[in-house]
Structure 1
Amino acid sequence: MEVVIMNFKKKASALALCAVLLGTSIAPVSAATHEKIAGANRYETAAMIADKMGDYETAILVNSDKSLADGLSASSLAGKENAPILLTSKDNLPAATEKRLEKVKKVYIIGGKKAISEKVEAKLAGKEIIRVEGKDRIATSVEVAKLVKGAGTAGFVVNGFTGEADAMSVAAVAARDKAPIILTDGKTMPIDPDVYLYVIGGEKAVSADLELEVDGERIAGENRYETNAEVIKYFYKKSGTMYFTKGDGLVDALTASSLAKNDGIAFVSKNSDKAVLRNRGSLIQVGGMKQDVLDSVLAGENLEDKGYIRAERPDLMRLKGSNITYEDFYAHAGDVDGKDISDKIQIVGEYDANKMGTYNVTLVVKLSNGKELKQPVVLNIYE
């Protein structure tokens, strides 16, 4: 009997794949509004993000001129303090940044004086200044972790030298969950954490031995775009809004982390897989990008409203006699204004939950403007 079930599952999966592929061509066009947050440079973009956050009394200051070394771990602190991350150069505080710091009472400077000099610090006279620094980027991440200790229940382990993209993939999650990002050399832990740890990136970045040592859960793909997609699938399944940035210009992902913490940030390039962006209500671009990259993101999108329907589990297997609902497909839907209307999703099509077989059905939701959105899915009943 076991063999029969295994063969059935293989057959069901094959049929499901065909159905999903076919569904791609007959499914309605994805609907998503497109917004843009982009200044003339990285400093202005960070400042515009701060404006979107509204009132704040605390800010995080990071130097991103040459690398994101010190800033890689800053997002968790930004989440804890509900603070924007603003950018500076070593010796000069850009006008856009200085303006956003006028009314704040507290500023965390991430990194030592070789990263952000006393000259910049002097321009912040009258404010409470807290400089967070270690002897190197790894030690700095430990100091940040100490500041957010107890705020969150999880944290992230990345390679501090080759894993900048991995750190930025979880920056929004770290801000949302106040979860420290611990930089490592990929082989040893610089701190004994008291939170559950996720290992971000493949074994070339963080060794299997280190993963075993921290007893963590690895989230990884073959490259930065795939790893980023896996992070989104894991932490932002229900998000109707998705921010997106250039995958080769990571600073925008850092500065957007506080604003995008409840929605997630996707990395894009012209040829990257855009699947995680599809069927979202809003796509929000952060930072400038080439037109061909933007075109690849918005291809096939209907920008008229925010209505969407999405099934995270389009190939569902259930035991005979099970009660089947839209929730089993991990389905979510939003109205034209982006409001969650998942509870209005219906399963349309003939199937018998008491009879073994593979059934092609459709998830359907009706929007307030009368339009119906459909998502083809496959239901496999086995015994």
Structure 2
Amino acid sequence: MNKRKIIASFILSAVCASTVNFASTKTVSAATARLGGQDRYETSTKISQDGWTTSEYVVLASGQGYADALCAAPIASRHSAPILLTPSNNLDQNVKSEITRLKATHVIEIGGTGSISTNVENELKSMGLSVQRLGGADRYETSVKVAKALGTPNKVVVTSGQGYADALSIAPIAAKQGMEILLTSDMGIPDTVKDYIQDNQSSIVDTYVVGGTAVIPDSTISGLSNPIRISGDDRYETNVNVLDHFKASIDMNNVYIARGGGSAGNEFADALSASALAAKNNSSVVLTDDDINTNANTQKFIEDNVDSSANIVAVGGQASVADSVLEHMELTVIVKSANNRLQAIADSTSDSNEKDAVEQIIDNLNNSISNKLDNADEVLSDFQSNMEKTQQILQKLSDAERTNLQNKINADTTLMQYLDQLNQIAKEYFPTDTE
């Protein structure tokens, strides 16, 4: 049997003793999509087009450096505006066209002239736009300028200004909940930020400190109002812990997947643009890298919290979020959903042999997504091994037990839809038959 047929038949043989022909069904699994352009600037316009028909305000941030841009999401949310990116010295033409499409009349620039030059500002003004700059002498003062523009604080975020991942993990949540994002350094809270906090001490109830002690030492946060630290061993675990902390208030029906790091230093751009859209939809931005398998915490969060009806949206092109990462997330959600239905069957039976068989099948389905999707030999080997184990499990059942189990599975139309979707995805692993 060729590779494609082996893999395509595995899902069916994993739960049925004989061949079952599924009719085409309406997809009930997680839907995947991509918002990406030729570069970070066009990607920001694609995100804007997905979320906004018109917008009076546009927030403009640098696509070349994250320093001033990290605090942009809350002010964008305040004005129900998208975040568009631009090079420092000239207004990107895709962005210019998007501002026109939105029929915007006001632009808020984040950062000083080192982030967005006067050339860009003058071009915006020549378009008849009202331009407001929120920028300070450095990234820390810029975060204070943005915070002051948001009004009296109630809850604030303090996070590192020396890296972008932690700030972007909290950005959509801070934006949705109206929390200012204040930047600090590993040397201590800068005076401008400290003064702002002290001036507003009476109104600040909670301070969310995002990041570990390596970037924000305990000694620097002792004077903050009710400091609540959220951190992890790396940026991905911190991202998951942030989402887990606030998940009761997050709508997981839309999940935006963005690159969380890289060697170029500009990988912040897509997650920054997505933060405004995620806030608008009360959703989350999940950070990932080239291989979700290396981020066990991310995969578990997706498995535990993303339902089968969710839209999983990759932000950026293939270089930012590879298809294999998106496919693995989709498979994780579908397998979890199928296994939940199978577990219900196991829980409803009094036959110990049948219960044991279903629970072993669940384990086998979990194993079916344990390998990298882009490693054909490993995927094939894993599927073959689990198919053999499943057949052994089913052979232990009597004919009556096997028939009874198959009838229960066939009667669960939702489960059958999941299995059909899994089978279709399995076929797509190998677009051509290979002997």
Using the size of structure 2 for normalisation, the TM-score is: 0.62
**Correspondence for 1:272:** 295
Which residue number in structure 1 is paired with residue 175 of structure 2?
175
Give the alignment partner of residue 48 of structure 1, picking from 46, 49, 67: 46
**Pair 113,301 (structure 1): closer, same or farther in 2 beyond 3 Å:** closer
Which residue is equivalent to 2:159? 158
Structure 1 residue corresponding to 2:223, chosen from 213, 236, 239: 213
Q: Which residue of 2 aligns with 1:201?
A: 211
- Residues 15-74 of structure 1: per-residue CA shift (max 9 Å, x gap): xxxxxxxxxxx99xx931101100000000000111112221100111121x21110111
User: SS at the partner of 2:229?
Assistant: strand
Displacement of 1:145 after TM fit? 0.4
Q: Which residue of 2 aligns with 1:23?
A: none
Cα distance in 2 for partners of 1:69, 1:297 equals 29
Q: How far apart, in 2, do the equivalents of 1:306 and 1:202 lie? A: 33
Matched-pair contact (CA < 8 Å) for 1:32–1:308: no
State the 1:95 CA deviation. Answer: 0.7
**Residues 43, 270 of structure 2: 8 Å contact kept:** yes
- The whole-number CA distance in structure 1 between the counterparts of 2:301 and 2:333 is 20
Match of 1:370 in 2: 413
Q: What does residue range 93-108 of structure 1 map to in structure 2 within 5 Å?
A: 93-102=91-100, 103-108=103-108
Local SS of the residue matching 2:277: coil
Query: What is the aligned partner in structure 2 of residue 74 from structure 1?
Result: 72
TM-aligned CA distance change 1:133 to 1:347, over 3 Å: farther
> Residues 277 and 283 of structure 1 are in contact (CA less than 8 Å); yes or no, is this contact kept in structure 2?
no
Q: Secondary structure at the match of 2:301?
A: helix
Give the structure 1 partner of residue 323 of structure 2: 294
Structure with greater helix percent:
2
Contact 1:133–1:139 (Cα < 8 Å) also in 2: yes
Cα distance between partner residues in 1 of 2:237 and 2:91 = 36
The one-letter amino acid of 1:286's match is V
Runs (5+) with no aligned partner, structure 1: 1-25, 312-332, 334-344, 351-359, 363-368, 374-383
Q: Kindly, what percent of the aligned residue pairs are identical?
A: 28
Query: Taking structure 1 as reference, are residues 292 and 169 closer, same or farther at Cα in structure 2, changes over 3 Å only?
Result: closer
Task: Tell me which residue corresponds to 2:56.
Answer: 57
Give 1:310 deviation, angstroms: 11
Maintained 8 Å contact 2:236/2:287: yes
Q: Which residue of 1 aligns with 2:423?
A: none
Q: 1:348: Cα distance to partner?
A: 5.1
Tell me whether 1:252 sits opposite 2:270 in the alignment: yes
Instruction: Give 1:246 deviation, angstroms.
Output: 0.9
Question: Residues 246 and 289 of structure 1 are in contact (CA less than 8 Å); yes or no, is this contact kept in structure 2?
Answer: no
In 1, Cα distance between equivalents of 2:72 and 2:321? 31
Which region of structure 1 is more displaced relative to structure 2, 276-285 or 74-83?
A: 276-285
Aligned length: 297
Change (3 A) 1:349 1:155: farther
1:116 matched to which residue of 2? 116
Q: Deviations over 1:284-335 (max 9, x none)?
A: 1111134994313422735999995999xxxxxxxxxxxxxxxxxxxxx9xx
Per-residue CA distance 1:218-260 (angstroms, 9 max, x = gap): 0000000000011111123551321101111221111111111
Q: Is the alpha carbon distance of 1:301 and 1:101 closer, same or farther for their aligned partners in structure 2, counting shifts above 3 Å?
A: closer
Change (3 A) 1:307 1:282: farther
3-state DSSP of counterpart to 1:213: coil
Unaligned runs of 5+ in 2: 1-13, 16-27, 262-266, 350-358, 363-411, 417-435
Q: Which amino acid aligns with 1:257?
A: S
Report whether the alignment pairs 1:87 with 2:85.
yes
Deviation readout 1:131-166 (Å, 9 max, x if unpaired): 11111000000000001123x6422101212x3211
Preserved CA contact (<8 Å) 2:232 2:241: yes
**CA distance 1:68–1:277, change in 2 (3 Å):** same
State whether residues 315 and 321 of structure 2, in contact with CA within 8 Å, keep that contact through their aligned partners in structure 1: no
Asked whether the equivalents of residues 31 and 304 of structure 1 are also in contact (C-alpha less than 8 Å), the reply is yes
Name the CA shift for 1:202/1:310 in 2 (closer, same or farther; >3 Å).
farther
Aligned to 1:354: none
3-state SS of 2:120 partner:
helix
Matched, 1:229 2:229: no
Query: In the aligned structure 2, how far is the partner of 1:156 from the partner of 1:276?
Result: 23
**Bigger radius of gyration:** 2
